[in-house]
Structure 1
Amino acid sequence: MHYGWTSPSLPKLLQNDSHIPITNEEGSWIAVMLLIGDLCGSILGGLALDRIGRKYVILLTSIPFIISWIMIAYARSVTIIMIARYLAGISDGLIWCSIPIYYGEIADPKIRGLLVSAAFVAWNFGMLVINVLGSYLSIDDTAWISLVFPVLLLLAFPFLPESPYYLIMKGKVNDARVNLMIFKGINNVEDELNRLKETVEEQNNNTGKFLDLFTVKSNRRALYIMMGSRGVQQFSGIIALIFHTQAIFKEAGGSVSPVTVSIIYCCIQLVLSGVCSVIVDKTGRKLLMMISIIGTGIALLTEGVYLCIKNTTDIDVSKYSLIPVLSIITWVIMFALGLQTIPVTLLGEIFPTNVKAFAVSFSDIYFAVIITIVSKFYQVTKDKFGMHVPFFVFAGCCVLGLLFVLFYLPETKGKTLEEIQEELKREKDEKNDLRLSERFKALDNV
């Protein structure tokens, strides 16, 4: 809801009769302040995950969320809104450090993709709710209603079990056994418990350090996979659409009001993210990513061409006013089909337990930096060169992303976390064997 808040709220704040007058520059900083707070939250998440546990990190996120909505409700200055957005960003950083790990560790491999993707269904539901509330209610009333959700988190989440992986890491084997019984729905969990104990013991023989992300080859490959997939996800320009939905629809033109189209967009994204969560464990991550990138790239290119003709030529495009709306809707559909959920699903799958906290913290910092760059890039290029320019750039990034997925992204469908680690290490060993074989052949030739 905090991510989607700017779409209906910034146009109101930018109006001449706004109760908090702001400039376009201040509006862009209000949008990205969430991401700056995200950086701080990501660092705190990396430090806290292995100390207080996945469960309590998720629970603690409710506090800054509650404070931020109250501040927005009472805000009468730009400074207060920016501080509120920053606090919400801290919670956002914490939540996206902890959620992928928590879901990845509690889920059976057959439904892991479904469970992680379900987080995005809830995320899109929040986007829809805030666009509806923010479009038809005042900023103050919207904030008070939005306050209900973090309060529910604070009241309900204490009753959920902690991750068995974390409990075993802390030597609480009996607690892990009890929680496994809850998650599995059966009483005999000794085989599963022993497997987890062996895995955690093996991965924690050498205490994980932050530098292990870069010095251990299998971790380094996992890091490349994470950075590539998150980079493709954000350089498709989706954050610009999230922050400026109504402004983009208004610029694109069309016979339907920007408010109505933005709500339709959120509904479609919600439905498609639900579809993706159902099929991701059946079709596989790689295929869905490829389909999603191709469709997203075509939609972005179409939108860019339309805006370029509309803004830089004298050609009358009024007869084709549905094209930009359909292009953006297609963009949303194809993005939700794979790009939205799969990179975070992979994040919970590809790192071993001894560096997982560091990995998700680094991932969220990297993510916040990227979306800050993309958001400011969109704002600057749109203002200086026209809205068609960032759309062309985003489409070009999709081409590069397709090459990355095609040649580098692994398939993790239906595999346990242990099998995924073995595959990452095995590929490293196979490459080493190939290099040795080539060297022996060269020696034979000599």
Structure 2
Amino acid sequence: MEAGQLWRQYVIAGVANIAMASSGYSMGWTSPIYIKLQDENLTDSPLPAPLTIDEAAWVGSLLPIGAIMGSLIGGIAASKIGRKWGLLCAAFSQLVGWILVTTATNVGFLYGGRIFWGIALGMQFTLLPMYCAEIATDDVRGALGSFLQTFMNVGYLLVYGIGPYTSYSVVAYVGLAFVAVFAICFFFMPETPMYHLSKNNRELAEQCLKRIRGQSHAGVESELNQMAAHISASMEKTATVADIFRGSNFKAFYITCALAFFQQFSGINAVLFYMSNIFSAAGSNLDWSISTIIVGAVQLVASMITPLVVDRLGRRILLLVSTCGTAIALGLLGMYYLLSDQESPVVSSIGFLPVLSMVLFIVTYSWGLGPLPWAMLGELFPIEVKAVATPLVSGFCGILTFLVTRYFEPIANAVGMYVAFWLFGVCCLAGFFFTLFLVPETKGKSLQEIQDMLVGRKSKPGKA
């Protein structure tokens, strides 16, 4: 059997996920930039007046509103123009967003920029899991699917690192450059063979597969035949929204929606969007800019572990560790805020606790809750349902993100920050038991074997 070149899959998936790094940069933009926009002296703000609390809440929450729209656009793009060109269209939306933010003269420009960033993010969350799952062999599909969170964290760390120490304009210009780097590099990457097969173009599918695998016609022929048979069986009828709620499709749908719920109601976006505010409000001994860089660095390093181990340890064990660890971290963070609210004398001696809790939260979140819902989204649905179901799951995730980012601060102010964090902790604990009893293990299984498992039938030996 002809040996392939495994590194090609990693390179192609890595280039595709530069888009996610760019989105991570735009998502983390709020943390250092809010300080500049809310400065009473307007020292480094393009706005005519400081950002109000309500305006800041809308700036934070309009990105997920855009993501809801983007997920629907991404689903259409996936089936009409393909995964590759859909991702390039998302880059154009991101570019428009950065132009609006760069040239902002009032808060309306920021609202528009955040919406366009959100549209790009929704498209990427829809298209990237498909792209990575469809170019990957079974033994590395989990690793490539986990790239999404790792590259997003690269973007977060970059904006955390340069945001506090450079001007508003420099941060925006770096964002523009990020989009350009992705668009230029990804233009030269292949489309997925499965997309070409779904359009009955076997010749283009073979060319793409040879390029992805680094093999000759003879080397890819068997895999191409298996893909074609899978596509043929899947495309016998056009999938509709109603098909998502039938049989194994519904099982895949409620699992992925539940994982998206636990991911968002772990409080990750509230924590990241308002990180500087959290450290300032907590009275941490560390400067908020240093704290966010520490957390961003830990987040990146932790997320790099998942691609290395997910195809050996499996999805379930990482999700169990992740939900348990985040629950403990949120419990500690909530306890700190409770003691702070009660003006306990012990607070002065545990100023390290918010940073320690954030590090534990970020590490364990990055091992499972961050990357694996998206990796499994690319695995659990059959090809004909994927283009319909993925936008719905991504859109649902966008709604949850909006709810968390828009209402976290008002609710925390009303009931206490400690109550808000404890509620997130309870959700993480619920995620632990959901994973324990209902999430299937997909490690090492082909896409067809996963479908067989969901419907409760045994795969034939050698079936791929």
TM-score, scaled to structure 2: 0.90
Q: 2:315 aligns with which of 285, 308, 313?
A: 285
Between the aligned partners of 2:270 and 2:339, the Cα distance in structure 1 is 21
- Matching of residues 109-148 of structure 1 within 5 Å: 109-148=138-177
- Distance in 2 (CA, whole Å) between partners of 1:172 and 1:93 is 28
Equivalent residue number for residue 208 of structure 1: 239
Partner of 1:153: 182
Q: Which runs of 4+ in 1 moved over 4 A?
A: none
1:4 to 20, 28, 32: 28
1:74 alignment partner in structure 2: 103
Shift in Å at residue 313 of structure 1?
A: 4.3
In the TM superposition, 1:49-128 aligns within 5 A as 49-128=78-157
CA deviation vs aligned residue, 1:192-211 (integer Å, no higher than 9, x gap): 11101110010111211121
Does 2:227 align with 1:233? no
The CA distance in 2 between the partners of 1:119 and 1:89, in whole Å, is 16
- Of 384, 389, 402 in structure 2, the residue corresponding to residue 354 of structure 1 is 384
> Is the 1:297–1:396 contact (alpha carbons within 8 Å) kept by the matching residues of 2?
yes
CA displacement, residues 224-254 of structure 1 (integer Å, 9 cap, x when unaligned): 1101111111111011011011111112222
> What's the counterpart of residue 374 of structure 1?
404
Mapping 1:39-438, distance limit 5 Å: 39-187=68-216, 188=218, 189-214=220-245, 216-426=246-456
Amino acid at match of 1:173: R
Give the Cα separation in 2 of the matches to 1:295 and 1:337: 10
- Give unmatched runs, 5+ long, in structure 1: 429-446
Distance in 1 separating the partners of 2:423 and 2:148: 29
> C-alpha offsets along residues 59-109 of structure 1, whole Å, 9 cap, x if unaligned?
111112112112111111000110011111111111111000010000011
Secondary structure class of the residue paired with 1:25? helix
- Aligned partners of 1:397, 1:122: CA distance in 2, in Å? 26
Q: Is the 8 A contact 1:213 1:220 kept in 2?
A: yes
For the 8 Å contact 1:70–1:144, the answer to whether it is kept is: no
TM-score scaled by length of structure 1: 0.94
Distance in 1 of aligned mates of 2:207 and 2:338: 61
Distance in 2, matches of 1:313 and 1:141, equals 40
C-alpha separation in 2, matches of 1:359 and 1:265: 34
2:354 maps to a residue whose letter is: P
Over the matched positions of the two proteins, sequence identity in percent amounts to 34
Structure 2 letter corresponding to 1:193: L
> How many residues end up aligned between the 2 structures?
427
**Contact 1:381–1:389 (CA under 8 A) maintained in structure 2:** no
Instruction: Give the distance between the partners of 1:98 and 1:317, measured in 2 at CA.
Output: 46
Contact 2:26/2:175 (<8 A) preserved? no
Asked whether the 8 Å contact 2:60–2:406 carries over to 1, the reply is: no
Offset of residue 386 of structure 1: 2.1
The two structures, once aligned, show a CA RMSD in angstroms of 1.2
The C-alpha deviation readout for 1:258-294, integer Å capped at 9, x for no partner, is 1001001000000110011111111000000001111
Shift of 1:122: 1.2
Give matches, 1:19-38, under 5 Å: 19=45, 20=47, 21-38=50-67
Alpha carbons 1:117, 1:342 under 8 Å: kept: yes
Further displaced range: 129-138 or 104-113: 129-138
Structure 1 residue 382: Cα displacement: 1.6
Q: Secondary structure at the match of 1:395?
A: helix
- Greater Cα offset, 45-54 or 313-322: 313-322
Aligned counterpart, 2:3: none
SS in 2 for 1:26: helix
List alignment gaps of at least 5 residues for structure 2: 1-24, 459-464
Distance in 1 (CA, whole Å) between partners of 2:174 and 2:182 is 14
Alpha-carbon separation, structure 1, partners of 2:356 and 2:215 = 49
| CA distance in structure 2 between the aligned counterparts of 1:301 and 1:271, rounded to whole angstroms | 23
In the aligned structure 2, how far is the partner of 1:130 from the partner of 1:57?
26
Q: Residue type matched to 1:406 in 2?
A: L
User: Secondary structure of the residue that 2:456 maps to in structure 1?
Assistant: helix
Contact 1:28 1:376 in 2 (8 A): yes
Deviation at 1:427, TM superposition (A): 6.5
> Alpha-carbon deviations, 1:31-60, whole Å to 9, x = none?
011111111111111112111001100111
Other structure's SS at 2:291 match? helix
Write the distance in 2 (CA, Å) between the matches of 1:122 and 1:202: 34
Which residue does the alignment assign to 1:443? none
